[in-house]
Amino acid sequence: MKPVKLGLLGLGTVGSGTANVLKRNSDEITRRAGRGIEIVAAAGKNLESHNCRDVTGMRLTEDAFSVVNDPEVEVVVELIGGTTLARELVLCAVDQGKHVVTANKALIALHGNEIFARAQEKGVIVAFEAAVAGGIPIIKAIREGLAGNRINWVAGIINGTGNFILTEMRDKGRDFQDVLAEAQRLGYAEADPTFDVEGIDAAHKLTILASIAFGIPLQFDRVYTEGITGITREDVAYANELGYRIKHLGIARRTEQGIELRVHPTLIPERRLIANVDGVMNAVLVSADAVGPTLYYGAGAGSEPTGSAVVADIVDVVRAMTTDPENRVPHLAFQADTLSDTTILPMEDVKTSFYLRLRVLDRPGVMADITRILASLDISIEAILQKEQDDDTTEADVILLTHEVREGNMIQAIREIEALETVKTPVIRIRLENLK
């Protein structure tokens, strides 16, 4: 059979990695796909600065639309990022009946419903394994490997920058801003790190995971998102003393009341495997009714790790090109006409346990006032830790671990506690998950 001709959009980190993996492993890839795969055209902003080791046979251009419109190109590989131009290019390819492979999590999270509907009309595939957790094949694992299961919940460390920062804070007792500056020097964090440290990047990925896990439309706007900028080295140390580690988790959980979609810092018992995923690595823990918990670990970013996932999608597309569209694996795991309109729970109705830290005057009656407020809102305490400050101060840090409580009740409790004259600083609140 004739080789399949690819058009590559983007010659940056992931684009170059994809091209290099395709070239280096071409023999293995051909044996797996059943036919050769060749990049015949590639578009990039700066054609002199790419890291592709071999561009033989590629038509290089700065005009991405010329690649999409090239009649020789059968599959378009979108690796430019962003959501405006990328959306136009992907829809242009789909409208021409061309299959698409993308690593663009923001594009899928924000415009995936539109793109997949158009792809179904045209009978083409839009593959997106590399959009979540880099080189970890988590999309295929949930969509195909766990197809016989009812997924209970998914919890993931799905942003390497945030995980690197929290790991350094724990291991070396460093402040957030200090570690963030190092992450930027090392290239782990962008000059504007907002998407990483505020949880937006993780929310894009969680949107996709929740959709394929529960058979719901992509709903990025319903994800509760909270960053790690407020985490201090004191909280990291106290959590460690209590037997927990702080991780920036994306959590999607099915409950009787609806589906929880949330990204936030989370205390996890240190004995859990996912609590020991450090540095820039990613991991996704999936709980399903038949198989139980399964953990997927690996590089969540990088040139060739992400390129590996892109190439795997390309191989899948090539294998499926001659099959009836009705017999292909659905984009979002469930048949398009069976996606559910299950309620997404408002954050105030979500139930979790909490870690609370507050600085109080060290005198009789203070704890009685705090516990009275908590009890009035049906919040029970699991553990209390009091840390005296320097000898010349009359204040103490109090750390509380609570049992599971409705978020709205905790917000009200914190409001009342902060109004006490004996409480000297705002209450630090971090959610706690056992992930059993």
Alpha-carbon distance values, 94 to 67, 78, 132, 412 (Å): 13, 12, 22, 49
- 8 A C-beta contact, residue 120 and residue 285: no
Alpha-carbon distance values, 9 to 40, 250, 400 (Å): 11, 29, 51
Q: Rounded to an integer, what distance in angstroms lies between the CA atom of residue 58 and that of residue 28?
A: 21
What length does the chain have? Answer: 436
- 8 A C-beta contact, residue 50 and residue 16: yes
The number of beta carbons lying within 10 Å of the beta carbon of residue 271 is 10
Is 205 designated active site? yes
**Burial of residue 357 (number of CB atoms within 10 Å: 0-12, 13-18, 19+):** buried
Q: 3-class SS at 394? A: coil
Whose structure tokens read 């600083």?
Answer: 425
Alpha-carbon distance values, 146 to 4, 41, 110, 386 (Å): 30, 36, 25, 45
Q: Which of 105, 122, 205, 247 is catalytic?
A: 205
Q: Read off the DSSP letter of residue 423.
A: B
Which residues does the annotation mark as catalytic? Answer: 205
